[in-house]
Amino acid sequence: MSEFVPKDLDRRRFLLEVGSTLAVLPLLSACSIGTVAQADSSILGKLRRNALPIGGEWSGAIEAPTDVSWRTELPVTKDDGERIRIAGTVFASDGKTPSPNTLIYFYHTDKFGIYGRGNEHKHGKYRGWLLTDQKGRYEFSSIRPASYPNSTQSQHIHMTVTTLDKREDWIDSILFEGDRFISARERQESGKRGGFQPIVKLTQGSDGIMTATRDILIS
Ligand SMILES: [Fe+2]
């Protein structure tokens, strides 16, 4: 079972290793992604230059589709699991100014705690991208993930954030209040985040979908 979450030290080493690769990314992007037209794509092009290369253990912003939007609905059915929706606003480091044009990549396990199966992407099929709107908003719907099989790992949704002036980096994973596997440390860390808690509380929306808010602070 791959965890796809590097330890801090591993992550730093990884970032150092990709540093030289990133220097040539604009060229690679232009060659591999092809013509990217229109105003939004120009923003996306700049964001891609701050994304980590394809193949990183936990990154994925560079694969954002050209029609990325502030709302993403993953194509799921009842059989996939419990439908959920996460919405929030991304704020600049002052915690007050909304951050538009921020690229979010997210992924999580299926309802059995598994990422990719067979020929699927290693992050599995529950992955998507969001580009915050002018108010810094994003919203996506998917299904609730599960703990890894035979583990006490809390259910979680991984997220990376890429901005026009900051390289793609991962942020605290979304956790779910009520999950018995949330550790004391995770709860302690979450408590330090003020109004930007990664532990979210799902409540039933007017349309029946379990919904939670997760605001993000760019640090
Ligand atoms: Fe994970």
In a domain, 1, yes or no: no
In a domain, 3, yes or no: no
Give the type of residue at 17: E
The domain total for the chain is: 1
> For residue 92, how far is its CA from the centre of ligand 1 (angstroms)?
26
Question: Residue 219's pLDDT band (boundaries 50, 70, 90)?
Answer: confident
Range of the domain at 111: 8-217
Is the pLDDT assigned to residue 154 strictly greater than 80? yes
CATH, residue 90: 2.60.130.10
In a domain, 2, yes or no: no
In a domain, 101, yes or no: yes
Whether pTM > 0.85 for this model: the answer is no
What confidence tens digit (pLDDT) does each residue in 24-37 have? 333 333 333 334 44
> For residue 137, how far is its CA from the centre of ligand 1 (angstroms)?
24
Percent share of the chain, pLDDT over 90: 78
> For residue 1, how far is its CA from the centre of ligand 1 (angstroms)?
10
Strand partners, 98: 91
Q: How many residues does the chain have?
A: 219
What confidence tens digit (pLDDT) does each residue in 61-92 have? 999 999 999 999 999 999 999 999 999 999 99
Contact between 90 and 98 (Cβ < 8 Å): yes
> For residue 157, how far is its CA from the centre of ligand 1 (angstroms)?
7
Is the pLDDT assigned to residue 115 strictly greater than 70? yes
> For residue 11, how far is its CA from the centre of ligand 1 (angstroms)?
14
> For residue 124, how far is its CA from the centre of ligand 1 (angstroms)?
11
> For residue 62, how far is its CA from the centre of ligand 1 (angstroms)?
19
Contact between 210 and 85 (Cβ < 8 Å): yes
> For residue 73, how far is its CA from the centre of ligand 1 (angstroms)?
20
Cβ neighbours for 8, distance < 8 A, ≥ 6 positions apart:
none
Cβ neighbours for 45, distance < 8 A, ≥ 6 positions apart:
29, 36
Pair of tokens at residue 119 = 């020929």
> For residue 5, how far is its CA from the centre of ligand 1 (angstroms)?
6
pLDDT value of residue 50:
96
Pair of tokens at residue 102 = 């921020």
Residue listed under structure tokens 């964001």:
47
Contact between 181 and 154 (Cβ < 8 Å): yes
> For residue 150, how far is its CA from the centre of ligand 1 (angstroms)?
14
Backbone angles phi, psi at 46, to 5 degrees: -65, -40
In a domain, 62, yes or no: yes
Is the pLDDT assigned to residue 109 strictly greater than 90? yes
Dmax (CA) of the chain? 49
